[in-house]
Amino acid sequence: MNKKSAYIVGIITLLIGLWGFYDRFAYGHDHAAYGSVVVWGLWVALYFLFGGLAVGCFLWASLDLLFEIPACKGTGVKALWAALITLTAALIAIAFDLGHMERFWKVLLQPNLHAGVAEDAWGYTIFGGLTAIALFRAVNQKGKDGVLKVIMVLGLVVSLYVAGAPGKLMGVNAARSFWHAGMLPVQFLFFALATGAALLMVILTFADKKEKLESSLSILHPAAIILLGINLYFTWSYFSQGIAGGMPGIMLPAQEIVSGQYSGLFWGVQIMLGGIVPIVVLALNGKNNNIPLSGLMGLCILLGNGVSRYLILVAGQKVEMLPGMSQAVHGPGLTLTYSPSTSEWAVASGLVGLVILGLLIGADLLLPMFTKSRQEA
Amino acid sequence: MPNEAALLDKNASGASGVTTAPKPTGAPAAKEDVLFRMRTELARALKKNPRERRWVMVIDQRRCIGCHACTVACMAENKLPPGVVYRPVVIKEVGMYPKVTMTFLPRPCMQCENPPCTEVCPVHATYTNKEGIVVMDYDQCIGCRACIAACPYGARTFDYGHAHTDNTPEVGGMILGRNTADNYERDANVEYGKKRERKGHSSPVGNVRKCHFCLHRLMAGILPACTTTCIGRATYFGDAADPDSLVSELINHPNIVRLKEELGTAPRVYYIA
Ligand code: SF4
Ligand code: SF4
């Protein structure tokens, strides 16, 4: 796919999204399919995905801008820009999900800092600020920049924290045993790193000839293989333990994913397309850095990881808090079933469009600046 | 006997700050009703410092007949829209044919003494008030629904802004249709002693809602709507800090259980199983 087609895809998905944005503003949550049982749906899954992507991109940027690994030279600015764009998409997704998005400021100014949502909000705000400063300095960098290094160190620490924060947000809910696992935040960190690498693989596909930076792929590919392997291991331990344990609160959602309603998504998209296929293809590709293929594998990894967040999030809520509850209450939003509504999909499409266009426009505007400043240095 | 309707009217017209307990003057027949005793005890409790009383609810599952009157009374009292339920009755079939029976479990908010729902609220919009009741500040809630995810009892629901009269057709020029039919839905309720009309997207639309032991009634000396409506007299309410109260007697029996006690939430709702 060339850059022009990517622009077209970005514009079409954003146009679809505009209808979704209008629907959300005009009708609130009227047309959303989540409710009072499955309270967090597609938009929260996208918040996790885009938030993880932002953190992952920042961590990859640190290889260039902090650790100065020669093979990664030149990827830092692209990665930081991608971090800002995906963070914006994450924040829009979560703002749309709130019942009163106009009160979002309260989370920052009147927070309960013990609460995961407030921790996330503050964490991402600090992270966004550090990323923006780092990007500004990196773009205008002339020679060694000590301040940039300090910002990158701070950003690294904050990134490690916010990478696991969504896992904590779910994990603190002792009532939901499927989520209440100590390793959930750690899983989110590895998911973030894998998706960050994947997005960079996609971005490099669209870089100009002289900016192809093929050397960085020699780091990204093996790293992606290892991270996907770790993710598959986490997935295996999480689900096999949950099912073998036999406790209904864990076993039932795990079974729903592995062998129930979501088995197609789980095996087909999360495990095969987003895990095994990229591992095999990238491994077979070896040192022959086939850039379009690399970009395609990056897309597969993003899709697989997006599905994995969605499944963990949604299946963990499809549990009756008291046996028989779902039969006792009837009405909108009081059901254990959930599949995203058209309006939720439209907003998702818009967010994807925003990210695509943001990345393309940013790269087209930033790269020349970036190249110029590096040449002057 | 106190005139409940009069008290409710008084409450509705100026709910906040109503703290005077009624003086029960029941007729002899009413004295035999357990409601009369609870009302007397309520009046006694209201004379105490709020921090010295401990509101609890006791539900006798053996007496519950699964009529759902409490669910409906709660909906009427708090003007609950579709999708918002404070007190469902969970029905369970027990045994094997032909020896089958049913058990009924009315489930209000447990008013946990260690509530996981308040801990996760990012803006302190839900908290335990001085009465020991877990309340909502509708003007503070951002609608993130983290508290719903955290509640082990499924006791919270989100107000998506639906109306019972949604999709009711309009007939031009006649006193029919949605605009007339939904007047009662738009009228203010008095939860937390504050009148709130359902208008557009203003709170409590977009907020999480939950049972509050009918705090607005309690402050006016009236028992919760579910308690007064229970035709099986299966729901008891009162001050467990008062050793002479009915609820104190009941919760000291060995056959008392609390739901999911292993989680350490310390519910203030007890069941006689
Ligand atoms: S039952 Fe649920 S909503 Fe009520 S206090 Fe306990 S945790 Fe909170
Ligand atoms: S929905 Fe409202 S009350 Fe519940 S956690 Fe979020 S802000 Fe707090």
B117 domain residue, yes or no: yes
Q: How many domains are there within chain B?
A: 1
B171: pLDDT strictly greater than 80: no
B205 domain residue, yes or no: yes
Q: What are the boundaries of each domain within chain A?
A: 14-204+214-376
pLDDT at B175: 63
User: For every residue of A171-237, which 3-state class applies, written as one string?
Assistant: HCCCCCCCCCCCCHHHHHHHHHHHHHHHHHHHHHHCCCHHHCCHHHHHHHHHHHHHHHHHHHHHHHH
B25 domain residue, yes or no: no
Cα(B26)–Cα(B22) distance, rounded to whole angstroms? 11
User: If you take atom 2 of ligand 1, which residue's CA is the nearest one?
Assistant: B151
User: Sign (positive/negative) of CA torsion A295, A345, A54, A10?
Assistant: positive
pLDDT band at B14 (very low <50, low <70, confident <90, very high): very low
pLDDT band at A376 (very low <50, low <70, confident <90, very high): low
B246-260 pLDDT per residue, tens = 999 999 999 999 999
Nearest-Cα distance to chain A for B123, in Å, is 5
Residues 197-216 of B with CB under 8 A from A: 201, 203, 205-208
Please tell me the distance between residue B155's alpha carbon and the centre of ligand 1 in angstroms: 6
A339: pLDDT strictly greater than 50: yes
| A98–B142 CB contact, under 8 Å | yes
A181: pLDDT strictly greater than 90: no
A64-78 pLDDT per residue, tens = 999 998 888 888 998
pLDDT at A75: 86
Ligand 1, CB within 6 Å, residue ranges: B 109-112, 115-117, 134, 151, 153, 155-156, 210, 265
| B158–A36 CB contact, under 8 Å | yes
* A176 compared with B30, residue with greater pLDDT: A176
Angle at A97 between CA A93 and CA A103, to 5 degrees: 105
What share of chain B in percent tops pLDDT 90? 70
pLDDT band at B9 (very low <50, low <70, confident <90, very high): very low
Residues 50-79 of B with CB under 8 A from A: none
Cα(B5)–Cα(B22) distance, rounded to whole angstroms? 13
A193-235 pLDDT per residue, tens = 999 999 999 998 887 655 556 678 888 999 999 999 999 999 9
Q: Residues A130-149: what's their mean pLDDT? A: 88
The CATH number of residue B253's host domain is 3.30.70.20
pLDDT band at B13 (very low <50, low <70, confident <90, very high): very low
Q: Which atom of ligand 1 is nearest to the CA of B134?
A: 5
pLDDT at A213: 63
* B106 compared with B19, residue with greater pLDDT: B106
User: If you take atom 2 of ligand 2, which residue's CA is the nearest one?
Assistant: B141
Which of the four CATH numbers 1.20.1630.10, 3.30.2420.10, 3.20.20.70, 1.20.1560.10 does domain A14-204+214-376 have? 1.20.1630.10
Q: How far is CA B54 from the centre of its chain?
A: 16
Residue A208 sits at the chain B interface (C-beta within 8 Å): no
| A39–B158 CB contact, under 8 Å | yes
Helix axes A184-205, A146-171, angle to 10 degrees: 130
| Average model confidence (pLDDT) across chain B | 87
Please tell me the distance between residue A325's alpha carbon and the centre of ligand 1 in angstroms: 15
pLDDT at A290: 81
User: Sign (positive/negative) of CA torsion A293, A294, A297, A302?
Assistant: negative
Please tell me the distance between residue A250's alpha carbon and the centre of ligand 2 in angstroms: 25
B97: pLDDT strictly greater than 80: yes
A9: pLDDT strictly greater than 90: yes
Q: Residues B41-70: what's their mean pLDDT? A: 95
pLDDT at A139: 86
Top mutation candidate among B135, B137, B207 for ligand 2, by most atoms within 8 Å of CB: B207
B251 domain residue, yes or no: yes
* DSSP strand pairing (B235-239 vs B55-60): antiparallel
B43-52 long-range Cβ contacts below 8 angstroms, 24+ apart: B43/B221, B44/B239, B44/B242, B45/B238, B45/B239, B45/B241, B45/B242, B45/B245, B46/B19, B46/B21, B46/B218, B46/B219, B46/B221, B47/B21, B48/B239, B48/B241, B50/B130, B50/B131, B51/B130, B52/B241
3-state secondary structure of A52: helix
Residues of A in contact with B151 (CB under 8 A): 175, 321
Chain B residue with minimum CA distance to A41: B145
Q: Residues A273-287: what's their mean pLDDT? A: 91
Give the global pTM: 0.90
pLDDT band at A140 (very low <50, low <70, confident <90, very high): confident
pLDDT at A209: 59
The sheet with strand B256-257 has its strands ordered as B235-239, B55-60, B269-272, B256-257
Please tell me the distance between residue A98's alpha carbon and the centre of ligand 2 in angstroms: 10
A107-137 pLDDT per residue, tens = 999 999 999 999 999 999 999 999 999 999 9
pLDDT at A372: 57
* B13 compared with B263, residue with greater pLDDT: B263
pLDDT band at A326 (very low <50, low <70, confident <90, very high): confident
| DSSP output for B142-187 | ----HHHHH-TT--EEE-----TTTTPPP-TTSS-SHHHHTHHHHS
User: If you take atom 7 of ligand 2, which residue's CA is the nearest one?
Assistant: B141
pLDDT band at B270 (very low <50, low <70, confident <90, very high): very high
| A323–B88 CB contact, under 8 Å | no
Ligand 2 near B146 CB (within 6 A): yes
Domain that holds residue B61: 4-19+31-272
pLDDT at B220: 95
Question: Which of A103, A176, A328 has the CB atom closest to B88's CB atom?
Answer: A328
